[in-house]
Amino acid sequence: MDQAMTATEPDPLPRSKRQRVAAACDICRRRKFKCNGEQQECGPCRTRGNLNVKCTWNNSLFRASSSTSREDIVKLQERIKELEKDIESRSEQNAPHSTRLGDLDNTKEPLRTPSLDGTNAEPIPTSFITPAAGNQ
């Protein structure tokens, strides 16, 4: 038989995947054993039965981590609200500056540079008029 034929032939016995357990018993979780999830006494605890180890299903670790994450979510949501209020108040503070700059664009006469003799010499191109660095 050549290699091309063996590569295309299906496996005679398909391998079954190990069933995953939603929650392991406390001992298997602590010792990182593969728990089979049997509630009264799981397989690893049954094989260690002579060691006086009792199979328990407290699952308090899962509840603690989920409540911690809920608290974190609530704190983050509160922080988002604070930041949104801060942004809103800053935009309201900057609103008068932007209207004043808008008024500059609507002037009927172009701005002029002062000359040495006191008369207005040349108009300033509006493309050079920019807001101050602190008002952006």
pLDDT band for 77, please (50, 70, 90 cuts).
very high
pLDDT tens profile 4-18: 555 566 666 777 776
- Between 75 and 37, name the one with better pLDDT: 75
**Cβ-proximal residues to 106 (8 Å cutoff; 6+ apart), any chain:** none
Strands (DSSP E) contained in the chain are 112-114, 120-123
24-45 per-position pLDDT tens digit: 788 787 888 888 877 777 877 8
Cα separation of 125 and 105, whole Å? 11
Q: Is the pLDDT of residue 90 over 70?
A: yes
Model pTM greater than 0.85?
A: no
pLDDT value at residue 87: 93
| Residue with the larger pLDDT of the pair 86 and 123 | 86
Q: Please report the pLDDT score of residue 84 as a whole number.
A: 95
- How many Cβ atoms sit within 10 Å of the Cβ of residue 38? 14
Burial class (CB within 10 angstroms; exposed 0-12, middle 13-18, buried 19+) of 40:
exposed
The per-residue pLDDT of the chain, averaged, comes to 69
Residue 115, pLDDT > 70, answer no
